[in-house]
Structure 1
Amino acid sequence: MPDAGRGRQPLSRIRGHLRRRDRAAGAQLPVVSGAGAEALRAAVAPVLDRAGAGTLVVALSGGGDSTALLLLARDWARARGREILAVTVDHGLRPGSAAEAAAAGALCARLGVPHAVRAWTGWDGAGNLQDAARRARRRLIGRFARDRGAAAVLLGHTLDDQAETFLMRLARGSGVDGLAAMRAETAWDRLPVLRPLLGLRRAALRDHLRAEGVAWSEDPSNADPRFARVRFRAALETLEALGLGPERLAETAAAMGRARVALERATADLARDALTAGPAGDVAIDLARTGAAPREIRLRLFAGALGWVAGDPYRPRLASLERALEALEAGAAPGLTLHGCLARRVGARVLIRREPAAVAPPVPLARGRWDGRWEWRGAGADPGLTIGALGAEGLARCGDWRARGLKREALLSTPALWRGRTLVAAPIARPEAAAAAFARISAAPAPWELTLLR
């Protein structure tokens, strides 16, 4: 079967992507028990050394973990003649958050590390606050790093975070992926992300800060038992006495990470044979080719396709995913919505399209990316132009769009170039008219490896 066999995108990229991730996907970093500065520096160096040439960006909350990361990264960079920057996201959710961001900036000034603050103002009071804050943090830090051409972002997750996350997900009934260890080396949309502290205990890092005479901020929510992580953190003290301490839990999480890699490889093999990527950023799953695959692999394939179409690196909840796939495979639901997508059973195929009501709002063309996967690939964007959904209004201006052989439902969520309410170009619905105006905008979705199987 040719490389692009059943799709319009080179699906073999999946395999290469998975091979590149193997070295960190299930690996457990050595646990460092001592708090000596040299031992800590030696522990983080192997991960930091993986960063490519260029500036490293420390995600600095001002708490103990990220502050220790700042010091250790600063020492590493000085020894190698590298540059580091720090960025703090002020969520504005507590009265003291601005002061904590300012304190982080003052520490950076003392250490000679350039620092910036990015404020989040997008909380509308609806939905899951912690999830919204996490997504905003990732978006703001990622944009800061990309704007500066950074080689990698550094995150301060520790061995304790690994253990707490494992317990929280175990309580939620998570499967292999949820229980798998955080990766020491991963990526946010091709932006490398490193977690140098995964083999270190939180207490050792705070001992290091005290020895260096460096203070840190304590988020009051870290002591608030209303938050699940705080309760699980307290439970760890009891579990440690029973032999289930952070080190042992991290070992189990690492084993789950290795299992995850094996499952991802099997899913990648099935994807090459059973997925077809359409020109409107949609996907078709051939049920005749997936029927003999184990249920776990079919679920992973479905989740990966949904994530790619939605431009969302996070998977749907397992229970929702299982119900949807079961209904579609059985033909019990001709169509349903999930994860910002429309999924329809048509014959022996499941068609997955972006849900028009779920697309992102228009953004300035200079922003470079819209709806998680459509990208501007040039420079010098007209500041008066935006990228947004074509929608019904734009489609009505596209003349005989039916000649393209694409469904209206699929076209509504495709990208269009707008100047105010004037349609400038529609590269999917009307490519021949868009050629000149849209020449520098990719009309193809981002590569599969950005979200599939992540």
Structure 2
Amino acid sequence: MDVAGQAPVALAVSGGGDSLALAWLARHWRRNLLALVVDHGLRPESGAEAQLTLERLHAMDVPARLLTLIGLTKGPAMAARARTARYARMVQACQQEGCVDLLLGHQADDQAETAWMRANAGSGPDGLAGMGWISHTPDVRLVRPLLAVSRTALRNTLRQAGLAWVDDPSNQDMRAERVRVRAALQQSHLSEQFWCMAMDAGCARMARDRAQAASLARRCVFFPQGWVGLGATLPEPAVLSGLIRSVGGQQYPPAPAAVARLCQKGGAGGTLAGTRLARWRDEWFVIREQAAVAAPVVASPGALWDSRFVLHAPSALLRCGVYVGAAGYGLERRVRAGWPALFCASLPALWWQGQIVAVPHLGWCRTAEWAGAFFEFKPPVSVTGLGVYGCKKGHDGNYIGPAD
């Protein structure tokens, strides 16, 4: 229900059948909505399609906002780059509007396709769970309420309501893996089988997440510097995998086989997915690998560096020429506050006129004026999933399921 003064619920609406059905259904649930329509500019007709979608949303009495992507070009990995840019722009809009939830139009057939692709790619058990009904990110909660509803059912809903939608021609491009998988599932009539597999894998994933969270709480120490102390012995590979993803600022965990090989090295340690497994004072630590950190970025309030650290500092402090980069190996022992140089090399630091002026995580700054800056460790994905996966597969009146 709507509450006075509450931020709207955001919807990602491309204008296609799935997202437009999401908007139509959401309008029968809440009034305080905000549809986000992204014009990616990759096709000549994308602008006109975005305007048409805005008109259709207006006719539904759904408030909408147009978001235009600038600088996105065709080329290698275009779909992935467009998806990343689209989500980043929508998350930014959610932050501006105070939206906590962003509803997405992924449906049951999308889930079956995802499960097929991940099975073919040899994904681990977490990957086979597919997309989460609820996924937590540092900035917004992603909600997919249509994962049990088929593509056919959603379009039938729109037809019954007398509503039209936009068909993206890229959905017919057989060069795309998902399009090929979609065609294969339609021919094999296996959509529901893969959907059910994802639901079972999702339930198992949530059970593992709970167990891993309990294990982390018992044995691991999380440092604001982005390090994790593991104690005298290594945790099981599944737990270590989540730690590597978080410390490395990755969206996805490393391959299970690679984590298993790292654990088998025993006392040798090693590197994986931008992190280093290091031993210090008879304990294991997961730290960031200095050679893998991101390039420097201009220092501005809220600047994100290395996909993990958010800068908080007064605007007046961040004068022209100040940037954020890795501290490197040149820190004096007294500055490192007792921590090894290996650990400190990947810490975020403020640089100005070619020299480090502050390493907030070590409580050090060259002069007092830089003391007002600090970095918040904010990895893109939490160590444990914290998402909602799977569902009860009972065929009741509210269940439709994927269509073959």
Q: Could you say which residue in structure 2 is the equivalent of 1:45?
A: none
Q: Could you say which residue in structure 2 is the equivalent of 1:115?
A: 65
Distance 1:358 1:125, change over 3 A: farther
Gaps of at least 5 residues in structure 1 are 1-47, 291-297
Q: Could you say which residue in structure 1 is the equivalent of 2:288?
A: 353
* Aligned residues of 1:281 and 1:445 also touching (Cα < 8 A): yes
Question: Which residue, out of 266, 282, 291, partners 1:329?
Answer: 266
- Give, in whole Å, the separation in 1 of the partners of 2:251 and 2:316: 27
Distance 1:360 1:124, change over 3 A: farther
Q: Work out whether 1:266 is the aligned partner of 2:204.
A: no
Question: Which residue, out of 252, 264, 268, partners 1:314?
Answer: 252
Q: Work out whether 1:375 is the aligned partner of 2:310.
A: yes
Distance 1:344 1:119, change over 3 A: same
Question: Which residue, out of 148, 166, 178, partners 1:229?
Answer: 178
Superposition deviation, residue 382 in structure 1: 5.7
* Aligned residues of 1:374 and 1:415 also touching (Cα < 8 A): yes
Distance 1:158 1:427, change over 3 A: same
Q: Work out whether 1:451 is the aligned partner of 2:382.
A: yes
Q: Could you say which residue in structure 2 is the equivalent of 1:276?
A: 221
Distance 1:318 1:222, change over 3 A: farther
Letter in 2 for 1:58: L
- Give, in whole Å, the separation in 2 of the partners of 1:324 and 1:441: 33
- Give, in whole Å, the separation in 2 of the partners of 1:410 and 1:263: 30
Distance 1:190 1:362, change over 3 A: same
Q: Deviations over 1:103-146 (max 9, x none)?
A: 333333444423121315366956x4444333333222212111
SS at match of 1:121: coil
Letter in 1 for 2:125: V
Q: Deviations over 1:285-335 (max 9, x none)?
A: 346253xxxxxxx22222211122122332223344344443x4363xx53
* Aligned residues of 2:336 and 2:362 also touching (Cα < 8 A): no
Question: Which residue, out of 314, 325, 336, partners 1:389?
Answer: 325
* Aligned residues of 1:90 and 1:97 also touching (Cα < 8 A): yes
Letter in 1 for 2:266: E
- Give, in whole Å, the separation in 1 of the partners of 2:75 and 2:355: 33
Q: Could you say which residue in structure 1 is the equivalent of 2:397?
A: none
Q: Work out whether 1:73 is the aligned partner of 2:26.
A: yes
- Give, in whole Å, the separation in 1 of the partners of 2:179 and 2:120: 14
Q: Could you say which residue in structure 2 is the equivalent of 1:305?
A: 243
SS at match of 1:198: coil
SS at match of 1:352: strand
SS at match of 1:206: helix
* Aligned residues of 1:142 and 1:188 also touching (Cα < 8 A): no
How much identity, in percent, do the aligned residues show?
Answer: 33
Distance 1:348 1:383, change over 3 A: closer
Superposition deviation, residue 432 in structure 1: 5.8
Letter in 2 for 1:359: A
- Map of 1:230-245 to 2, 5 A cutoff? 230-240=179-189, 244-245=190-191
Q: Deviations over 1:229-259 (max 9, x none)?
A: 112212222332xxx442x433332221111
Gaps of at least 5 residues in structure 2 are 386-404
- Give, in whole Å, the separation in 2 of the partners of 1:403 and 1:440: 18
Superposition deviation, residue 402 in structure 1: 4.5
Superposition deviation, residue 272 in structure 1: 2.9
Letter in 1 for 2:345: L
- Give, in whole Å, the separation in 1 of the partners of 2:81 and 2:262: 24
Q: Work out whether 1:254 is the aligned partner of 2:190.
A: no
Q: Indicate the structure with greater helix content.
A: 1
Letter in 1 for 2:12: A
Q: Deviations over 1:40-60 (max 9, x none)?
A: xxxxxxxx999x942111112
Distance 1:403 1:202, change over 3 A: closer
Superposition deviation, residue 225 in structure 1: 1.9
* Aligned residues of 1:273 and 1:289 also touching (Cα < 8 A): no
TM-score, length of structure 2 as denominator length:
0.80
Question: Which residue, out of 53, 76, 84, partners 1:135?
Answer: 84
Q: Could you say which residue in structure 2 is the equivalent of 1:441?
A: 374
CA RMSD of aligned residues (A): 3.4
Q: Could you say which residue in structure 1 is the equivalent of 2:273?
A: 339
* Aligned residues of 1:356 and 1:412 also touching (Cα < 8 A): no
SS at match of 1:216: coil
Letter in 2 for 1:342: R
* Aligned residues of 2:10 and 2:99 also touching (Cα < 8 A): yes
Question: Which residue, out of 186, 191, 209, partners 2:158?
Answer: 209
SS at match of 2:339: coil
Q: Could you say which residue in structure 1 is the equivalent of 2:113?
A: 164
- Give, in whole Å, the separation in 2 of the partners of 1:49 and 1:257: 31
Superposition deviation, residue 452 in structure 1: 0.4
SS at match of 2:123: coil
* Aligned residues of 1:387 and 1:415 also touching (Cα < 8 A): no
- The range that moved more, 146-155 or 400-409, is 400-409
Give the count of matched residue pairs.
381
Q: Could you say which residue in structure 2 is the equivalent of 1:426?
A: 359
Letter in 1 for 2:324: G
Superposition deviation, residue 159 in structure 1: 0.9
Letter in 2 for 1:149: G
- The range that moved more, 112-121 or 224-233, is 112-121
- Give, in whole Å, the separation in 2 of the partners of 1:379 and 1:58: 33
- Give, in whole Å, the separation in 2 of the partners of 1:152 and 1:387: 32
* Aligned residues of 1:274 and 1:287 also touching (Cα < 8 A): no
- Give, in whole Å, the separation in 2 of the partners of 1:49 and 1:176: 38
Superposition deviation, residue 181 in structure 1: 4.5
Letter in 2 for 1:302: L
- The range that moved more, 377-386 or 355-364, is 377-386
* Aligned residues of 1:366 and 1:381 also touching (Cα < 8 A): no
Distance 1:349 1:428, change over 3 A: same
